Amino acid sequence: MTFSSSESSAHPASHHASSGHHHNGTTAATGRVVRVHLSCRAELPLGSSLRVTGSTLWALTQEDAFMGEQSDASSSSVTARTDFGHSASTGSINDTSLLSSTVEMVTSPSTYPIWRTRQPVIVVVHDRSNKHATLQHHRYRYLVVTPGADILSLQQDDNNNDDNDLNEIVEHLVPIAAIEGPPLATTTPTTTMTTPHAVVAWENPFADEPKDNNGENTKANSVASFVTDPHAPEGGRGPAMNRVLMANLPYRTLDIDVATASPLSSSSNNNSKAASSFSIVDNWNNGQDETFSSYLVREAIHKNIRMMKMGGSSFGTEVSESSDNMVQVTSNNNGRNKGGSESGSASPPVDMKQRIFFVCFHLPVIVTKNEGTGQWSAVWAESLLAKTKGSNVVRTHDAHWIGTVTTDPPITRHKDREAVRALLSAMDCTALFLEPHVLEAHYLGMCKQVLWPAFHNIDLLDLSTSGWMNDHSNKKDASNQQASQGTQEEEGGGGPTIASTSIFDSDWDQSRLDGWWDAYCTVNKAFADVLNGVLEAGDIMWVHDYHLSLLPKLVDEKEIAEFGQSTTKKVFFLHIPFPTSQIFRELECGEAILEGILHADVVGFHAFDHARHFLNAAKRILGLNYESMIGGLIGVQFGRKTVVVTMNNVSIESHIVEAALKLPSVQADSASIRKKYPKRATICGLDVAQRLSGVSFKLLAYERLLVDYPMYQNRVVMIQKCLVPGSRKSDEANTLREVRYLVQRIQNKFGPNVLDYEEIRGSSLPIDKRLALWRASDVFMSSTLREGLNLSPLEYICAKQAPEMPGVVIASEFSAVCSILNGALRLNPFDIKASAICIDKALTMDVQEKEGRRTRDLDFVSTCPSSTWTKNVLRDLRDSTLGASDHDISSAIFSPHGKPQREEEIDTTASFLAREHEVAFTHLDSDSVLRAYNVTSRRVIILDFNGTIVIKEPPGKYLKREILGTSGNKPPGEVLKALKALSEDKRNIVYVVSGDAQENVVGAVGNIPGLGLAASNGACFSPPLLPGESQRKWQTLDLGVDWKAIKRVALPVLSKYTARTNGSFVKLTHSSIGWSYYSCDPEWGAMQATHLLMELSQELSAFDVRFVTLKGVIEVLPRRLNKGLIVQKVLREASLSNGGVDFILCMGDDISDEKMFTSVFSFVSEMHPGSGGSESTQSTQPIYALTAAVGKKASHASQYVDDARDVANLLVNLTGVVGITPHTNAAGALDTVNQRGVQFFE
């Protein structure tokens, strides 16, 4: 390869030294352009050509959301963040987009077989998470393109690995069309290379070496196994397989010295000499090339790790993979090396299990005090969160539990608190003791009076108007006063008890919400303080349920403020339903709860229905989109990361149930129940005495059964037990009143033996009592109206396994267990008649069908305990955060001194490259931009309008509250001042490029005379006003389209859809027609947009137009029109008028701006000598090309900013506008609350 000398240390260093613009003694590096010409020796047959990938490599996990906007190969030297397109409908690989992301290579008769890039590959130095790193790695691959060919068979001698291998393979390429183009030693025209029949062959010199890399193909033919064949049959080596194989191909690496922005050779790295003084020629498919050395080193490391996993050792350590796929590293040292210090006398760590903290409001323990001795005792409770014997998760992790504890009797003294803390500490539990009034307002107030009904889809209005409240108006003033003051107890007061809840005798009182919410925040903050004191980098924090929904955010923000990034992995799991967005929007605190949860890496639910409501709320309330991810996960893009939403079902601890079934008390009580009702079939039920449990509906259905089927009056008994936990006193009192009334009515009507009813104080029934009831019953019935996780039906199935006679489960279709059990009968409790019929079906079901239904569910019930559920959630966490943390214990190898040293994950090449791309796509640092700005003098700044310098709420939000506020469709005042200051600097050329109409752009920023404007995606533009000019002059591009004829066809169609879709409207610009559904209901608007797009495509098929779907807008554009045209024009004119360009800043937020980014790099590539342009001083001076997408997403841009606030912050930072000091929060985003920041909304 041959490296450009334009970015060598000789010229830039002297330039900056003389200019006096050093920053802390170093030259600005971020954003500097490195232009690399690559050379490769390849003997190719007639008609074939060589190409090389651009600035990034394709990774399997990345999706190309903007493939339709790709640049042609001839006009862009950089690749998209996703290099390979594929059809959404077929999954096939799009060869056209594949080639458009690569760079053409050429040769000549005098230089053949040496091929050289026609235009340089553009590499931009980016900000690095490791500020001390001195190298940036550019990875690339070569490929051979043979137009008009297909593959019948490809064979290769496994013993040959030299350059002649390619000739053997190409002999098997069978032409299916005449090859048109120049003779050998010239490149095939791009138009020919990107035909649908193109065959693309890739290097793979190590195919003969078995890899065993997490299932990677071994003994694969070089090149032959990696050919994109669009005609391959499904099930063979078709597109899907090829896509996976190509992602795992070997790669070459070129190191860039970030200090000088110059390439280095592998041999010169130790001497830190720039590569401008030498050239290297790669050899096609030759594994001996030094550019493969980085790949080979990584493979060697992985081979060593795999050997250690199979029983080897290194540095006295052992790396093993447990059954839950979590990596452990152990050694012979007794103790954890928490400090990570390097010492010659230190020994390797003995047990580096990954630490995991289970955080729940109530610790899963039962704590009691012996009144006689005064001693406290504690045991694990029946809970899926409790520590279970033999759990793989506990065996492979260092597990801890954090939460509050409720004792019997309540703790009243400090001495008792300390005794309980010590007792629980031995069980790896940390107990929090909260002030009684705070605990009461948080748990019995906010959680049970507000969040619990809302999360169960109870409308807040229903709480006060549908019989959910008693008449306590005479107590309102007193209760309010008590709620504000709290109950005064002795120091060390314990948790809430039934007796202490008298002040919460109504379910809803809006006036209390502020105090309850304050208490909720206080409790979450108390938990966060404890966790921040114990969490270490690489730990896992798993938060359970809605009581602590703010906790992920509080911990995450603390980590970012202290370390600049998240250092722990976070899971949030909700065990109750999540409401519809319509209900959730009623909560004043709804957005805060959503944001708190979304700071976790994984958000889990027990049922897809609950997850679907959460995703919908995130979209309609916060405007966040979600998408399917590889592996069946769902990802929500929140800030700078993708939050994984997952559904994981959990069953009971079957071994505990089976052991308990052998208890004498179970057998005795079961026999007693059968003896009590010897000739009656038994229907059992165990429910909490709260209205949503549906006990009243169950009794009404049972009453209807006895009326409609009189023969059951002497043959059936229902045993119904109601638990009264005391957490929702008013609800429980109302429910019990209704249930008692119905019980009495049924017994009076049909006799006392048809219904056996019992009320039990407490939140659970002892396991032996439950199992005795299950064993004695023929049918289990649940008629819940809203419900999260309820394990009673699963426990019933386990209790009725062979040799017991099978039973029948009747489950409400509104319960989570309904989606888990395939053998259960499903009922709608609101349909009383159908419920009675369902009971009849259960009672008359034959034994064979009962056994079949039991068999369907027994496998899940007996094989998915909490340890398996925990392992599955941690697997999803691992998949979602793979490579995201530099402190992942599973990716650490230890030196002889015990210090963790970061190594690559044990994974495929594709996943490694995907993580590297993620790392390289960094947040744009405003200080780095300022340094580059200060050391340059021929600058071009190009900014998108809506969404970039004008705030625009996400189109998915149901209510766009702020966009039409005082700011309207204009940038904030500080941004206007910054634009004016930038455009007045003679060294700057500043343009705003918008897809909006000309009049809207002029109305917003047209009063800045030195600012260039482009409207209608660049179809019309107005250069900056010259001195003495007062009126703007607009110019247009000739796009060769009869726009009036297009309007005559399109407008009737658009008018039809506008009439059908409330909130939509038509946008007419100079050279585009848009249909905006931005202000519509997001789902309805998107649905209508899909149909509109199909109809417009058909109606306008005769015109040379294309369709672009932006954020809430469908646009019809001339096929040749894109924002890249105006960007190229501006840059070229600036280069001619100023003698070159040395600073380019380009920012945009949506798909139409991608062409701007690629045009910037195309321009930079053309500036290089040998590209067809004239040599000038610009080719030897440092160039900064800063492209930034607004919002982290797949993009051609080199970096990203979070939102339009970051753009405003940057512009203000560049200009130093008086009175405006950029202010960012810990995450780097602009803080609009702080008065010093740019205010978007007055």
Q: Distance (Å, rounded) from C-alpha 281 to C-alpha 265?
A: 11
Mean pLDDT across the stretch 166-187? Answer: 32
Confidence class for position 89, pLDDT limits 50, 70, 90:
very low
Query: Which element (helix H / strand E) includes 166?
Result: helix 165-170
C-beta of residue 844 within 8 angstroms of C-beta of residue 634: no
pTM value is 0.67
Tally DSSP H helices, then E strands, for the chain: 35, 51
Q: Distance (Å, rounded) from C-alpha 286 to C-alpha 205?
A: 6
Q: Distance (Å, rounded) from C-alpha 1101 to C-alpha 1099?
A: 6
pLDDT for 128 equals 65
Q: Is the pLDDT of residue 431 over 70?
A: yes
More confident residue, 1069 or 181: 1069
Both tokens assigned to 284? 């096609």
Both tokens assigned to 1218? 């008086």
More confident residue, 474 or 143: 143
pLDDT for 1049 equals 92
Q: Is the pLDDT of residue 183 over 50?
A: no
Q: Is the pLDDT of residue 1220 over 70?
A: no
Confidence class for position 413, pLDDT limits 50, 70, 90:
confident
| Single-letter amino acid, residue 152 | L
Q: Is the pLDDT of residue 984 over 60?
A: yes
Between the CA of residue 1087 and those of 445, 460, 622, 1077, 1083, what are the distances in Å? Answer: 41, 30, 20, 10, 6
Angle, helices 767-776 vs 664-676, to 10°: value is: 40
Q: What 3-state class would DSSP assign to 23?
A: strand
Most confident of the ranges 62-66, 338-342, 917-921? 917-921
Please state whether the peptide bond connecting residue 147 to the residue before it is cis, i.e. omega within 30 degrees of 0.
no
Most confident of the ranges 178-192, 482-496, 775-789, 880-894? 775-789
Q: What 3-state class would DSSP assign to 1238?
A: coil
Q: Distance (Å, rounded) from C-alpha 1022 to C-alpha 1006?
A: 10
Mean pLDDT across the stretch 75-87? Answer: 31
The angle subtended at Cα 1132 by Cα 1128 and Cα 1138, nearest 5°, is 145
Confidence class for position 351, pLDDT limits 50, 70, 90:
low
Kindly report, residue by residue over 801-821, the tens digit of the pLDDT: 888 899 999 999 998 888 888
Q: Is the dihedral of CA 396, 398, 401, 407 positive or negative?
A: positive
pLDDT for 956 equals 60
pLDDT for 360 equals 94
Mean pLDDT across the stretch 1157-1161? Answer: 90
Confidence class for position 278, pLDDT limits 50, 70, 90:
very low
Mean pLDDT across the stretch 635-645? Answer: 87
More confident residue, 679 or 10: 679
Mean pLDDT across the stretch 364-382? Answer: 87
Mean pLDDT over each residue of the chain, to the nearest integer: 75
Kindly report, residue by residue over 233-252, the tens digit of the pLDDT: 434 444 444 444 667 889 99
Query: Which element (helix H / strand E) includes 963?
Result: none
Least confident range of 33-47, 203-217, 595-609, 1050-1064: 203-217
pLDDT for 213 equals 41
Kindly report, residue by residue over 936-977, the tens digit of the pLDDT: 999 999 999 988 998 776 666 655 544 443 345 788 888 999
Percent of the chain with pLDDT over 70: 70
Q: Is the pLDDT of residue 1165 over 90?
A: no
Environment class of 1105 (CB within 10 Å of its CB; exposed 0-12, middle 13-18, buried 19+): buried
Q: Is the pLDDT of residue 61 over 80?
A: no
C-beta of residue 54 within 8 angstroms of C-beta of residue 79: yes
Confidence class for position 728, pLDDT limits 50, 70, 90:
confident
Q: Is the pLDDT of residue 853 over 70?
A: yes
Q: Distance (Å, rounded) from C-alpha 797 to C-alpha 652?
A: 10
pLDDT for 214 equals 43
Ordered by where they begin, the domains of the chain are: 2-292 (no CATH), 654-864 (3.40.50.2000), 926-1026+1121-1215 (3.40.50.1000), 1043-1118 (3.30.1240.20)
Mean pLDDT across the stretch 547-557? Answer: 95
Q: Distance (Å, rounded) from C-alpha 612 to C-alpha 1017?
A: 37
Angle, helices 590-598 vs 608-622, to 10°: value is: 110
Q: 748: Cβ–Cβ under 8 A, 6 or more apart, which residues?
A: none
Q: Distance (Å, rounded) from C-alpha 54 to C-alpha 100?
A: 10
List, as one string, the DSSP characters of 172-211. TEEESS---S--TTSPPPHHHHTSTT-EEEE--TTTTS--
Q: Is the pLDDT of residue 852 over 80?
A: yes
Q: Is the pLDDT of residue 147 over 60?
A: yes
More confident residue, 843 or 182: 843
More confident residue, 393 or 1178: 393
Between the CA of residue 1160 and those of 80, 475, 1143, what are the distances in Å? Answer: 13, 71, 11
